[in-house]
Amino acid sequence: MSRPSLSLLIVVALLGAGITAADALPVHTSTAGTTATTADVVGASAICPDLRQDRDVLRTRVSAGVAVAAQGVTGTGRLLAQPLAAHGAPARLPVDRPGQVAVDLGSTLTGDALEVTARGPLAAGLELEQVTRGEGGSSRGLAGLRCEAPKTQAWFVGGSTQVGDSLTLVMANPDDTPALADVVVWTSDGPADTRPGRGIVIPPRKRAAFPLDQIAPDKEWLSVHVVVQRGRVAAAIRHARLDGKTPKGVEWVPQAQPPATTVVVPGLPQGPGRRILSVTNPGLDPTIVSLHLTTPDGQYVPTGMDALEVPAGTTLATELAPLTDKAPATVTVVSDGGPVIAGAFVYDLQDGPIREISYAGSAQPLSGPALLTDLVIDRPTESTLFLTALGAAATVDVTPVAIVGRDGPLPPSKRVTVPGGRMTLVKLSTFLPPGATGRLAVEVRPAPGSAPVYAARYLREHGSRGPLTTMLVLQGAAQRVPVPAVRRDPEVAVSR
Amino acid sequence: MPPRTRAPKVVPSRSTVDVTAVLVAADGARWLPEALAALAASTVSPAYVVCVDNGSTDASADLLKASYDGVLELPRGTSFGAAVEAALRSAPATRWIWLLHDDAAVEPDALEALLAYAAQSPSAALLGPKVRDWADPRVLVEVGLTTDPAGHRETGLDRREYDQGQHDTVRDVLAVGTAGALVRRDVWDELGGLDAYLAVFRDDLDLGWRVNAAGHRVVVVPTARIRHARAATTGRRVLQSAGGRPGGIDRRNALYVLLAHAAGPRLLLALPRLVIACLLRAIGYLLTRQVAAAGDELAGLGSVLGRPGRLHAARRERARSRSVPPRAIRPLLARRSGRARARLEAVADWLSGGAAPGANPLGALGDAGPEGPEELAELVPPGGGALRRLLLRPGVLVTLAVALLSAVAERDLLPVRRGALLGGGLLPAPPGAGDLWASYAAAWHPAVVGTAAAAHPATAVLAALSTVLLGKAWLAVDVLVLAGPAIAAAVAYAAAGRLTSHRLLRGWAAVTWALLPTATGSIAAGRLDGAIAQIAIPPLLVAAAGLLARRRPAWRRAWGLGLALAMTAAFAPLLWLLAGLLLLAAATVTLSLRRVLCAVVVAVVPALLLLPWSADAVHHPERLLDGPGIAPTGAPTAAWHLLLLHSGGPAEPALWVTAGLLLAGLGGLLRRDAHRIALAGWGVALAGIGAAAVLQSRGHWPGVALQVAGAGLLTAGLVGGDQLRNRLAHSDFGWRQVTAAAVVVGAAVGTSAAAVSWVDRGAADPVRRGGPVVLPAFARAELATTSGLRALVLRVRPGVVGYELTGAGADLLGTGDAPLPTAQAAALDAIVADLLAARGSDAAEALATRAVRYVALPAGPSAGPYAAALDAQSGLSRRASGRTLLWRVVAPTARLTVLRPGLAAAALRGDRGPSRELLRVAPPATLPAGRESARAALPAGPPGRLLVLADAATRGWRASVDGRPLARRTAWGWAQAFDLPAEGGRLDVSYDQAPRHRALAGQLLALAFVLVLAAPAARRRRGLEVVDEEADT
């Protein structure tokens, strides 16, 4: 073989061998940056918007608790409470480890709004609840509220600004810089003028109360969107209704889920009165919605509710009372068009002219353990836990939780199975011996591997002059959050 | 030589004229026979011919005696002037004197022509002939003489200018050479003849000047012609009439003549100017290693200034004989710009038709020059002006074609838009060259959280280039990136000339090289290292081949190649590794110690020149694999893609376009006669592909290695293509011809397809022209006006969120590629991850300690969840919601903060950031700070305060209060901090620049050292004339 041909062969052989070897080279993965994972929440705060106490007439209870994390975060920490306007060092709450609840906090605290912050092990699973009980006048009734973390957006469905209704948006700014918020309101007549609600300033560590009749006077079935342009606020809406001098109820409008094409409102209670579902279409195009009810007996679409038109920017109010007369129901709103928000208004009555209102908010399935920190078990009061499984059957553990300062053995926990497409009611008084009274705190935790389940609590007291009701949707505090992969990449500063 | 018979004094056919011819001989036996014969053949005979022999040791005297009677024999060492004087004394006076040298042969009609003009123009007192070269009478040597204000002897001719009648007009000149000069006897006597002091050199200039000054004319009469060997000037004759080196005597006499003729007060101006010019020239000579020439300058200066008495006498004598004002003579002097113009013209000549462009790119530094009319005629198409000639050269045509092609492809990148080039790996250029220099010289860089790492050496090269380009840094980047393909095509065309003379083949190689996948890819990806390598590899290869091909390569070539490699390696350090290893290997194979040593020089010079950085690279070897700018993050491609020179980056054509090149390279191996070159090409190619495979598996850009491979393949391919037609013609038609045709077509089609695909896709993306627009204008302004503030820029990428800490706007070229220490990188990663996870962490406060005032996230569908997390993050407050979502860090942010004792304790404990409660109770006080140092008035406060600088703790930081140095601490686990006293005062914070300045001085010295060693050596001189090696042999 000639020299050139030989060298040609050698080069070709070298190339072939080189390619094979190169493909076999281990590919170096960059060690820069982090990988995606999940992590425990290490800091949390919540603000209860209104701590009003008025001796015998008005009493506000605040309760706080920390759920035991699914991953079993242990260790002790501090829960610090500080009224917004107050200066000086924050007060320390008695809760110092997960799985504890402290009740009746409001009586020892003064100020208009209370900020509770948790760091470290106590942050994952912090839940705060306030219940105000008024005995007369425009405050007569029970008004309960899950104290929310400060956020940059909040949606509310419910409220009215007609004669006799007083609807107040309360915004608390926990930060040291002023917050700036816009308030957008939709009503059953369409969107309200947006100008009055624009650029509301909440001073640093202050609370601002804003009457919503300034934006939408004399309207029914309001929906409110609070958009914080700068800073973060904890927003809440208080609805009080008075007919002349007759109290017609008081309630906090719960925060709703952001617009979605499927919205679940868990737990419209059974009973007399009105049950009105509000569906608001915040979009620019009309949409058709259908309402699906899930009851303890099954799921169905009520006649005439399979195709309801919701015009753009308008709230559609639908009376569900005849359907809930016999059984409670969870409502699923499905929109064919754009996303909607929804909530329900419960108008309760008893003998006599006095009425009571409560709101059922929209919900996500339970994300983890959720706490009910303030349960009063006594004769006239009945607390009911509504559990709804929309799809497959779900299993839920309801476990009593230790209340700080109240010793004694805890009642055993209960495992509740919710059949698929059914709603199950759990009377919380059954945790105590029949006839016993007392305070109770429970943790509601979906069993591992359980199908999604929606939970709400309905509290109804057969008052001497009329009913006292309030509702609470259970979500479960965020305990573990996804952490994205990050990498330092100088290109981000120059790419388009 | 046949013995000559005694020549008759009078030849009957010729008339005798009233002329005394004086022929002076000194060791001129080599030329004398011809000179005597020429004199004898003159059409008119001088009345007297007086021959003088200055004590020759050869046969000169005998030769003279054989031709003429009455030969004067003077002692050895008599000067020409003295010899003429002696001759004149020995003969009756005639109206004219004709001065003749022993090494000059007059044409038969020379004297007749001179006399004819003299008769026609009585005012002419000194007439000179047209002087041509002895050996090659086509070459003009002298047509009149003059001098410029610096004392250079100017003939007004180009080097080796051919006599084509272009100077054939009678002109008034300052002086004429003495050989063949006809001078009126009365004027000669009046002026006292040649100056006795000027024994040799410049005597003719001085005489002409004096004749002019006396109001007579000095003319050159081109119809009178002589051939002159210039034995003294060219060093063929040992000087006897004057001691010392010819150069020194020449410089001395030049100064002497200038100073002697400078009229009155002009001397005051001329003297210092000449002294300074002499010193500068001496330094210049020293720098180009011409020590003897430098000595000549200094010796000449010293010997003139050392004897002011003689100079004074000479001046008085010239003042006496002067009868016309100096301004009448000034037009005859050469202007200072003359020399510069002559050099420019030489370069222009070379460009428009000298040698092939860049046929010797490195040589072009030193010894370019028109080679000769024959070569010119061959290369330049006939007709047309210089421009047309220039444009029609094939190399220029190829370059223009590629330039046009790239202009179309780079349509979105051309500098008609505002802004700098950026994107991909390219950071935007700072406004000016000064910024680049400052960035290079800085001991500390504000990038990310501040670093003391040495600046990338590419910054210095870019700064130098921008300085040349009118101080515009963006222009330097534009030239490298946008004009890169055209420059690459030009150098590749030139380099291909080493392998083939086939123009079409060279053109193909040039275009293929300029459009290699990695070439278009490195433009689109904004890789400066790729752009530089594309331009530098062909000349580097040629130079390296030259080094290896010579039996005894000159040291300066090794130093020069090392210097060029260092400049390239400043951008593409990988090239240094590859070139050094390949060259060492190749030199070792040749078994020549000299070559191995040269290769070692080449390999060591870059490491030496890039020293502060290359020492850093020892600790971070991976830095040697990446160029300046942002390290790319591309997925690796299959290995066989690398074989086809594809790196998988943007703007690369289809895979098959390089298949023809690969096959052509394989075909090159089949050639018998140039087998070695093809093998060498493949050696380079295999090394390049191997390096590319390793690089890519390590997560680096393999582009530069693929370019090396491409150069090797092209080399082998050119070997295969050269003489292909001839070689195929020798064998019968068969598979050889078919295969060759297929490969040729494939190679041509591949290159065309690469061009079409590049034009179709466009050269941009991700590189683009514009400005970084991530931050809204108000935030940019705030960051720009407050020194040391930073912004965290986030961007959602598939599967990962990228982030960067930047100053105002973005990182700039030369600031952004310092590596971040692993601990700090991990801390930043954790902070950013927390920030995006909505877990209620103190990430915002941790950012505040890093002086991050804004967090920016470009809006988009994928940004939603992260925007919500940032909204929920306490300590951040949303500020803008347009194209970019922007959050402001609520906690006080500043480069320089004073922490009260509570916070100070947290900081010294190494907490990640201050707690919100502490911030609320005792917020840190901020102090104004500069970009690097800070000066502020420190108020008094409680003891235990801490001064924190939002920059990484490094040993170089110094702080003092009223001159008292402060103890150094580390805050928050990473930041530079100092203990503060309770009392206030004048606070000074600065970074210690001294080590960096020492390093820069060392680098400058090394550069000067290498430059001197690499400077083109002065060409061999003999006497005063540069000798053409080929003409001499």
What are the pLDDT digits (tens) for B933-967? 889 999 999 999 999 999 999 899 999 999 999 99
Q: How far is A399 from chain B (nearest CA, A)?
A: 26
Helix (H, G, I), strand (E, B) or coil at A206: strand
Chain A residue closest to B885 (CA)? A229
- Mutating which of A180, A491, A494, A496 best tests the B interface, going by the most B Cβ atoms within 10 A? A494
Provide, rounded to the nearest whole percent, the portion of chain B with pLDDT above 70: 90
State the pLDDT at residue B371: 36
- Low pLDDT (below 70) residues in chain A: 1, 29-31, 70-74, 106-110, 496
Task: Give which of A89, A121, A43, A228 is closest to B845, Cα–Cα.
Answer: A43
State the pLDDT at residue A109: 66
Nearest to A23 among B638, B671, B833 (CB): B638
**CB-CB contact of A69 with A44 (8 Å):** no
In tens, the pLDDT along B827-883 reads 999 999 999 998 888 899 999 999 999 999 999 889 988 998 998 888 888 888 888
Determine whether the interchain pair B890/A29 forms a contact, defined as Cβ–Cβ distance below 8 Å.
no
In tens, the pLDDT along B191-231 reads 888 888 887 788 888 999 999 999 899 999 999 999 998 87
Decide the pairing of beta strands B124-133 and B217-228.
parallel
What is this model's ipTM? Answer: 0.88
Distance of alpha carbon A50 from alpha carbon A48, whole angstroms: 6
Biggest CA-to-CA distance, chain B: 127
Q: With contacts defined as CB-CB under 8 Å, which chain A residues touch B840?
A: 41-45, 119, 123
Average pLDDT over residues B311-328: 86
Local confidence band at B378 (pLDDT 50, 70, 90 cut-offs): very low
Burial of B47 (0-12, 13-18, 19+ CB in 10 A): middle
Local confidence band at B351 (pLDDT 50, 70, 90 cut-offs): low
State the pLDDT at residue A292: 95
Task: Give which of A279, A313, A311 is closest to A193, Cα–Cα.
Answer: A313
Determine whether the interchain pair B800/A33 forms a contact, defined as Cβ–Cβ distance below 8 Å.
yes
Beta-bridge partners for B897: B926, B948
A204-213, B330-339, B762-771, B936-945: which range is least confident on average?
B330-339
- Is the CB of residue A364 less than 8 Å away from at least one CB of chain B? no
Beta-bridge partners for A310: A287
Distance of alpha carbon A477 from alpha carbon B462, whole angstroms: 56
- Chain centre to alpha carbon of residue B499: 25
Distance of alpha carbon B128 from alpha carbon B170, whole angstroms: 10
Local confidence band at B744 (pLDDT 50, 70, 90 cut-offs): very high
Burial of B279 (0-12, 13-18, 19+ CB in 10 A): middle
Higher pLDDT, A465 or B1023: A465
Q: Would you give the DSSP letter of residue A233?
A: B
Beta-bridge partners for B544: none
Task: Give which of B247, B248, B269 is closest to B258, Cα–Cα.
Answer: B269
Distance of alpha carbon B891 from alpha carbon B914, whole angstroms: 9
In tens, the pLDDT along B499-512 reads 888 899 999 999 99
Average pLDDT over residues B475-482: 92
List CB contacts of A303: < 8 A, sequence separation 6 or more: none
Distance of alpha carbon B966 from alpha carbon B989, whole angstroms: 10
Determine whether the interchain pair A175/B877 forms a contact, defined as Cβ–Cβ distance below 8 Å.
yes
State the pLDDT at residue B376: 36
Chain B residue closest to A480 (CA)? B839
State the pLDDT at residue B358: 34
Dihedral angle sign, alpha carbons of residues B1000, B1003, B1008, B1011: negative
State the pLDDT at residue B56: 85
Biggest CA-to-CA distance, chain A: 116
Determine whether the interchain pair A43/B836 forms a contact, defined as Cβ–Cβ distance below 8 Å.
no
For residue B946, CA distances in Å to A155, A167, B592, B975, B977 come to 45, 51, 65, 12, 7
In this model, does residue B81 exceed pLDDT 80? yes
State the pLDDT at residue B5: 39
Task: Give which of B468, B466, B481 is closest to B435, Cα–Cα.
Answer: B466
Q: Tally the C-alpha atoms within 13 A of residue B554's C-alpha that lie toward its C-beta.
A: 11
Decide the pairing of beta strands B124-133 and B420-422.
unpaired
Helix (H, G, I), strand (E, B) or coil at A89: coil
Decide the pairing of beta strands A329-335 and B985-991.
unpaired
Determine whether the interchain pair B878/A3 forms a contact, defined as Cβ–Cβ distance below 8 Å.
no
List CB contacts of B261: < 8 A, sequence separation 6 or more: B206, B209, B213, B318, B326
What average pLDDT does chain B have?
A: 85
In this model, does residue B927 exceed pLDDT 60? yes
Q: What tokens were used for A334?
A: 């499905």
Q: Would you give the DSSP letter of residue B45?
A: E
Q: How far is B883 from chain A (nearest CA, A)?
A: 11
- Mutating which of B528, B682, B769, B800 best tests the A interface, going by the most A Cβ atoms within 10 A? B800
- Angle, alpha carbons B199-B203-B209 (nearest 5°): 155
For residue A475, CA distances in Å to A40, A47, A98, A427, A489 come to 17, 17, 17, 19, 37
Distance of alpha carbon B762 from alpha carbon B524, whole angstroms: 9
In this model, does residue B450 exceed pLDDT 60? yes
Distance of alpha carbon B862 from alpha carbon B795, whole angstroms: 10
Nearest to A14 among B686, B693, B833 (CB): B686
Nearest to B839 among A29, A33, A40 (CB): A40
Task: Give which of B247, B215, B221 is closest to B233, Cα–Cα.
Answer: B247
State the pLDDT at residue A171: 95
Higher pLDDT, B359 or B74: B74
Distance of alpha carbon A333 from alpha carbon A263, whole angstroms: 5
Determine whether the interchain pair B829/A33 forms a contact, defined as Cβ–Cβ distance below 8 Å.
yes
**CB-CB contact of B67 with B6 (8 Å):** yes
In this model, does residue B389 exceed pLDDT 80? no
A151 phi and psi angles, rounded to 5 deg = -140, 180
State the pLDDT at residue B813: 79
Q: Would you give the DSSP letter of residue A104?
A: -
**CB-CB contact of B212 with B332 (8 Å):** yes
List CB contacts of A119: < 8 A, sequence separation 6 or more: A42, A43, A77, A78, B840
Task: Give which of B3, B228, B273, B6 is closest to B110, Cα–Cα.
Answer: B228
Phi-psi region of B654 (alpha: psi -120 to 50; beta: other; left: phi over 0): beta
Chain A residue closest to B682 (CA)? A11
Q: With contacts defined as CB-CB under 8 Å, which chain A residues touch B633?
A: 30, 489, 491
B33-47, B539-553, B613-627, B659-673: which range is least confident on average?
B613-627
Distance of alpha carbon A364 from alpha carbon A267, whole angstroms: 13
Average pLDDT over residues B341-359: 55
- Chain centre to alpha carbon of residue B467: 13
Average pLDDT over residues B566-571: 93
Chain B residue closest to A7 (CA)? B669
Average pLDDT over residues B379-403: 74
Element (H, E) at B977: strand B975-979
Residues 49-88 on A with a CB inside 8 Å of B are 80
State the pLDDT at residue B634: 66
Local confidence band at B736 (pLDDT 50, 70, 90 cut-offs): confident
Determine whether the interchain pair B793/A492 forms a contact, defined as Cβ–Cβ distance below 8 Å.
yes
Q: What tokens were used for B594?
A: 């000299």
Q: How far is A367 from chain B (nearest CA, A)?
A: 15
- Amino acid occupying residue B590: T
Residue count of chain B, please give it. Answer: 1033
**CB-CB contact of A98 with A73 (8 Å):** yes
B450-459, B628-637, B943-952: which range is least confident on average?
B628-637
- Is the CB of residue A9 less than 8 Å away from at least one CB of chain B? no
Nearest to A177 among B693, B877, B881 (CB): B877
Phi-psi region of B896 (alpha: psi -120 to 50; beta: other; left: phi over 0): beta
Q: How far is A476 from chain B (nearest CA, A)?
A: 15
Q: With contacts defined as CB-CB under 8 Å, which chain B residues touch A12?
A: 666
Distance of alpha carbon A323 from alpha carbon B903, whole angstroms: 62
Local confidence band at B370 (pLDDT 50, 70, 90 cut-offs): very low
Q: What tokens were used for B843?
A: 């990430």
Rounded to the nearest 10°, the torsion over CA B704, B709, B712, B717 is -120
Q: With contacts defined as CB-CB under 8 Å, which chain B residues touch A47?
A: none
State the pLDDT at residue B9: 42
Decide the pairing of beta strands B171-172 and B217-228.
antiparallel
DSSP codes of every residue in B943-963: TT-EEEEEEE--TTEEEEETT
Query: Which spans in A325-435 are helix H?
Result: none
pTM higher than 0.80? no
Chain B residue closest to A152 (CA)? B871
Q: What tokens were used for A331?
A: 């409502």
Q: What tokens were used for B744?
A: 């040729």
